[in-house]
Structure 1
Amino acid sequence: MLVFWKARLVLLAVPKTGTTALEQALLPYADSAILNPPQQKHCTVRRYRNQVQKFFEQRGQRKLELMAVVREPVGWLSSWYRYRARDEIRGTANSTADISFDDFVAAWLQHTPPEFAKVGRQSRFVSEEDGTLGVDHLFRHDQLDRAVAFLEGRVKARLDVGRSNVSPARDVGLSTEMDARLRAEAPEEFALWARLGS
């Protein structure tokens, strides 16, 4: 999470959406940064409102606007699945190395997912307590150039955004049946994506 106090903007870091690369490019322009531990770096809208907002926002001043990037739901889950299949965590409770993508998605859909599928939900990350969208500026991961252009305008600087924290390559495909189940059981994820258009 990066705070641009003068620019009145907070970049929330939704996991697996390219925000690590954005953070690296933007760090010299940020007034405050929470990069670790991961639970704090990936501060949700709700946590920001409950724990962080009052610290940065002073009475009588314009509120800081929130910004986030989200990814197409199947692609987002695929990135998590591939990231957790890396060799260095094989054999741990978080590893997906020995399960199929269908099984990963089925586990993620459970009310209480097993450790390897505990990755949260993008829709909850960017939502207020009442379920309404809690960010002022929401961008698509596959159109990161728009997010970069927006940020350049706010921080008044040219950004050189590379790639970082990229999930390992792995042939991943979701069966037609599991794709249909995912869309039926997690409609809020697809609704969030659909509101961003194409």
Structure 2
Amino acid sequence: MLVFWKENLVLLAVPKTGSTALEGALAPRASMVLRDPPHLKHAPCYRYKRFLKPFFAQAGGQKPELMAVVRNPVDWLGSWYRYRTRPDLIGHENSTRDISFDDFVLEYCKGSPAPFANVGSQNKFLRINDGAIGVQHLFQYEQWDKVIGYLQERLEMTITLKQKNVSPAMELSLSPEAEAKLRDKRAAEFAIWEMGRR
């Protein structure tokens, strides 16, 4: 999470949406960088509202606008799947090394997925307790030029990104049956992604 106090902007770090690359480029410019522990770096909207919003209000009476990036659910799950194939997770309950991408996605669709497919929800991340969207500025990961364009204008700076925390390269394809089930069981994930379209 990055806080830009003068610009009245907080950039939330939705996992697997390029937040580490943004942090690398923007941290020197930010007033505050929350990178550890992970539950603070990746604090969702409801946690921000409960803990950080009151803190910022007391610090200066400000109510910063929130910004986030959301990724196509199939690609987002693909990134998680590839990330969990890495060698240091072999033998761990989170490893996807011996699991097909279809099986990973089908497990994710369950109400209580196994640890290897328990990767959270972009929809839940971006909503506050009453179900409303918690960010004022939502961008699709697939429209990266608009993400950068907005930040460059808002922060009055040129941004150069370097890839960081990238999942291992791997060709993935999802069967039509698995994608149909994902769209049915996790329709809210696709709906929140569509809200970021510009």
Question: TM-score of the superposition, structure 1-length normalised?
Answer: 0.95
Gap regions ≥5 residues in structure 2: none
Structure 2 letter corresponding to 1:87: P
Match of 1:141 in 2: 141
- Within 1, Cα distance between the matches of 2:7 and 2:197? 27
SS of 1:168's partner is: coil
Residue pairs, 1:1-198, within 5 angstroms: 1-58=1-58, 61-197=61-197
- Inter-partner Cα distance in structure 2 for 1:37 and 1:115: 20
* Alpha-carbon offset, residue 60 of structure 1: 7.8
Shift in Å, 1:115: 1.2
Alpha-carbon RMSD across the aligned residues, in angstroms, is: 1.4
User: Deviations for 1:109-156, whole angstroms, at most 9, x for unmatched residues?
Assistant: 121111111110101101111222110000111111211121122222
Q: Distance in 2 between matches of 1:58 and 1:148?
A: 30
CA distance in 2, matches of 1:7, 1:118: 35
Q: Distance in 2 between matches of 1:50 and 1:167?
A: 31
Amino acid at match of 1:158: T
C-alpha distance in structure 2 between counterparts of 1:75 and 1:175, whole Å: 14
**Equivalent position amino acid for 2:130 in 1:** D
CA contact (8 A) 1:65 1:136 kept: yes
CA distance in 2 between counterparts of 1:110 and 1:116 reads: 12
Q: Provide, for residues 33-70 of structure 1, a one-character-per-residue CA deviation record: whole Å limited to 9, x for no partner.
A: 11011121101000000111111124884410000001
SS for the counterpart of 1:49 is: helix
Cα separation, 1, equivalents of 2:60 and 2:165: 39
CA distance in 2, matches of 1:75, 1:120: 14
Amino acid of the structure 2 residue aligned with 1:9: L
Greater CA drift, 145-154 or 93-102: 145-154
SS at match of 2:22: helix
Contact 1:5 1:56 (C-alpha < 8 Å) held by counterparts: no
- Structure 1 pair 164/54, CA: closer, same or farther in 2 (3 Å)? same
Give the Å deviation of 1:72: 0.4
- Percent sequence identity over aligned pairs: 49
